[in-house]
């Protein structure tokens, strides 16, 4: 059975979409663990509800960055992932992890990359910028993670229309709905 490790910082609705696809047998894999940098992340509860092991790990808990990176890498290695999924993870993945799992870490981003990616483009900032620029379409992108934020090779994209009366919140919801379909489908393809 292939193993997937998920990183999430937020409510974890994308993580839930993965759990649901695994439980439905659409993704034939085991979610070996969830890592969050935030002890209050909703994703942690979703993991617990599904008996998925969790770890909270953030640099603030350690005396040095080196200690943090070592512990994080050890944790990931202990779960022996075939695929690592960043599902709303708001911290940079340490370079050692990227090097150890190069090509096997994917991230979902709520815009049509390369547009609206990189530093500062996260959460509602992305949707606000899309509306400020009067874009007529937006969407979500899944890409391979490398050392640069939101810049690795794109492997899947899904588009939505932007309406003239959209608020960032309404647009975010429309994009998120697509994310919940694109992420499980892409994981399935990746593992095959």
3-state helix, strand, coil in the chain (%, to 5): 40, 20, 40
Does residue 142 bind ligand GRF (CB under 6 A)? no
Q: Nearer to ligand GRF by C-beta: 8 or 98?
A: 8
**Long-range contacts of residues 76-80, Cβ cutoff 8 Å, at least 24 apart:** 76/5, 76/35, 76/100, 76/101, 79/3, 79/5, 79/32, 79/33, 79/53, 80/3, 80/32
Footprint (CB under 6 A) of ligand GRF, residues 8-37: 8, 10-14
Answer for which of 47, 176, 182, 187 binds ligand GRF (CB under 6 A) is 176
Contact between 155 and 143 (Cβ < 8 Å): yes
Footprint (CB under 6 A) of ligand GRF, residues 68-107: 87-88
Q: How far is the CB of 2 from ligand GRF (least distance, A)?
A: 21
Which residue is associated with the tokens 């379409």? 137
C-alpha 33/C-alpha 12 separation (Å) is 13
Is 109 an active-site residue?
yes
The count of residues interacting with ligand GRF (CB under 6 A) is 13
Q: Nearer to ligand GRF by C-beta: 38 or 70?
A: 38
Does residue 112 bind ligand GRF (CB under 6 A)? no
Residues that bind ligand GRF (CB under 6 A): 8, 10-14, 87-88, 108-110, 176, 179
């Amino acid at each position: 059975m292939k193993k997937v490790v998920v990183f999430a910082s937020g409510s974890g609705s994308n993580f839930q979409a993965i759990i649901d696809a695994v439980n439905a047998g659409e993704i034939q894999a085991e979610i070996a663990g969830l890592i969050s940098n935030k002890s209050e992340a909703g994703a942690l509860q979703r993991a617990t509800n599904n008996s998925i092991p969790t770890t909270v790990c953030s640099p603030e808990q350690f005396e040095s960055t080196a200690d943090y990176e070592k512990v994080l890498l050890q944790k990931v290695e202990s779960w022996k992932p075939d695929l690592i999924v960043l599902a709303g993870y708001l911290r940079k993945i340490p370079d050692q992890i990227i090097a150890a799992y190069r090509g096997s870490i994917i991230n979902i981003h709520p815009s049509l990359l390369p547009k609206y990616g990189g530093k500062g483009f996260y959460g509602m900032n992305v949707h606000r910028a899309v509306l400020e620029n009067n874009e007529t379409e937006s969407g979500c992108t899944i890409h391979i993670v490398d050392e640069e934020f939101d810049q690795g090779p794109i492997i899947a994209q899904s588009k939505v229309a932007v309406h003239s009366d959209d608020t960032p919140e309404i647009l975010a919801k429309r994009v998120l709905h697509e994310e919940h379909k694109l992420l499980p489908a892409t994981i399935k393809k990746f593992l095959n």
